[in-house]
Chain A
């Protein structure tokens, strides 16, 4: 099994996810790795980034004065510019966009995903109580939910037969992208559609608790 450093793993993941976006998509990107997808958009693809704190058309992070910073921030509280065509709105409207099925896609990380498309990404009991924030609303409504995550956590599989941690939502995940492959959640189970060409199907299955469904002819190369 080929060794990859964290930066390489993340780059493979976010570059592959960026190819899923079409020009004009309205997208919510979670904090951390998902937010990096915006840096790898294909030529000619412009998307509008949704901030669940009340903004569509989030632009670059910016340094502004202490007073102004209360008025244009991302969901993590960091000051951001508004791109041309942006809009601001309140929390009810922001989550109407999410729950109401108006976002083309939401990309977020996961602690665990299972073969029924269940997602656990907000709480590890016994560690601390972070609160679920907006994640539960984002995943129940978006037209498509893409999970951006490293394939394992300290060697333990994250794609499971059944999630063990408290769920974020039931049956919400459409696509999982890891450094080892691109996976679709279907009614039959998880289909292994694309593979990192530097690994084998057997190696990926060995790091996956759920039984992967191999399409005829095997998974296509991911890049």
Chain B
């Protein structure tokens, strides 16, 4: 088994109009090398981006946003990204905002085969608009539906050829759950090793979730 492919092969999976998950949050765990390849080596557009913050200023993700290649952004925190705020306020991009914990759990639910989750977060706020409320043991919860995507781009530190991933620090953030929730999952890694070289105890994301591995440092 060898899931290692080139960046060009990986990004070719992303087609116009698809939904695209991108891991990371506020620079931590951003798969910048994959996004940069997608930005510069394809002209895909009309994408629905699923990412907490739509990148930070100067990141390839925010540059893609500036290039108007996203028709919709599903995220949580736009406060550090002037471009997404400008586009959201100006009606230039559709957007959907979720509390950050809800965002992560909706993605996990999709990956775990669940229809959604029940959370107290957002009850009594604008977040509950249009959502079903369910009372359990006298407490109200919102039904938040699962969130999946066509393709996910995620970041790991080390990968083996079968797609087992080691993530480090708080670069894990949404990379772990996005690995489960897309039809096609590409992980970039700073180091790629042979099967058996990662101690099973050290695996953050099991290879079963990962379709392809690319070397982050690959020149294209």
A166 within 8 A of B: yes
In the assembly, what is the distance between CA of A99 and CA of B76, in Å? 16
Contact residues, A60-104 vs B (CB, 8 A): 67, 69-73, 75-77, 88-92, 94-95, 98-99
A204 within 8 A of B: no
B26 touches A76 (CB 8 A): yes
A167 within 8 A of B: yes
Contact for A53 among B25, B108, B177, CB less than 8 A: B25
Query: Considering only CB atoms, which chain B residue lies closest to A68 in the complex?
Result: B169
- Chain B residues whose C-beta falls within 8 Å of the C-beta of A90 in the assembled complex: 104, 167, 172-177
The distance from the CB of B148 to the nearest CB of chain A, in whole angstroms, is: 16
Q: Which of A72, A75, A135, A136 gathers the greatest number of chain B CB atoms within 10 Å?
A: A136
In the assembly, what is the distance between CA of A141 and CA of B176, in Å? 23
Contact for B121 among A54, A77, A137, CB less than 8 A: A137
A201 within 8 A of B: no
Contact for A136 among B29, B78, B122, CB less than 8 A: B122
B124 touches A70 (CB 8 A): no
A24 within 8 A of B: no
In the assembly, what is the distance between CA of A99 and CA of B139, in Å? 14
Q: Which of A52, A89, A92, A170 gathers the greatest number of chain B CB atoms within 10 Å?
A: A92
Q: How many residues of B contact A (CB 8 A)?
A: 51
A110 within 8 A of B: no
B120 within 8 A of A: yes
Q: How many residues of A contact B (CB 8 A)?
A: 42
Contact residues, B69-102 vs A (CB, 8 A): 75-80, 85, 88-89, 95, 97, 99-102
- Chain A residues whose C-beta falls within 8 Å of the C-beta of B169 in the assembled complex: 54-55, 70-73, 88
Q: Which of B80, B121, B177 gathers the greatest number of chain A CB atoms within 10 Å?
A: B121
In the assembly, what is the distance between CA of A75 and CA of B26, in Å? 7
B123 within 8 A of A: yes
A53 touches B120 (CB 8 A): no
The distance from the CB of A99 to the nearest CB of chain B, in whole angstroms, is: 6
A129 within 8 A of B: yes
In the assembly, what is the distance between CA of A55 and CA of B170, in Å? 6
Query: Considering only CB atoms, which chain B residue lies closest to A71 in the complex?
Result: B169
The distance from the CB of A117 to the nearest CB of chain B, in whole angstroms, is: 11
Contact residues, A5-49 vs B (CB, 8 A): none
B126 within 8 A of A: yes
- Chain A residues whose C-beta falls within 8 Å of the C-beta of B6 in the assembled complex: none
Q: Would A137 and B99 be within 8 Å (CB), given that A77-B28, A128-B85 are in contact?
A: yes
Q: Mark A158-173, 1 if CB is under 8 A from B, else 0.
A: 0000000011111100
Contact residues, B181-214 vs A (CB, 8 A): 190
In the assembly, what is the distance between CA of A71 and CA of B120, in Å? 30
Q: Would A73 and B76 be within 8 Å (CB), given that A92-B108, A131-B97 are in contact?
A: no
A136 touches B99 (CB 8 A): yes
Q: Would A72 and B170 be within 8 Å (CB), given that A53-B28, A91-B101, A95-B104 are in contact?
A: yes
B174 touches A71 (CB 8 A): no
A51 touches B170 (CB 8 A): yes
B100 touches A95 (CB 8 A): yes
Query: Considering only CB atoms, which chain A residue lies closest to B99 in the complex?
Result: A136
Q: Which of B30, B101, B122 gathers the greatest number of chain A CB atoms within 10 Å?
A: B101
B155 within 8 A of A: yes
The distance from the CB of A126 to the nearest CB of chain B, in whole angstroms, is: 9
A137 touches B25 (CB 8 A): no
A140 within 8 A of B: yes
The distance from the CB of B24 to the nearest CB of chain A, in whole angstroms, is: 8
B121 touches A133 (CB 8 A): no
B76 touches A88 (CB 8 A): no
For the complex of A and B, the 7 pairs showing the least CB-CB separation, nearest first, are A95-B101, A71-B169, A170-B124, A137-B101, A133-B77, A54-B170, A77-B26
Starting from the known contacts A90-B104, A133-B77, 6 additional A-B residue pairs (CB-CB under 8 Å) come to: A73-B28, A73-B170, A77-B27, A90-B177, A91-B174, A169-B125
Q: Footprint of A on B, CB under 8 Å?
A: 24-30, 53, 56, 75-80, 85, 88-89, 95, 97, 99-105, 108, 119-127, 155, 157, 167-177, 190
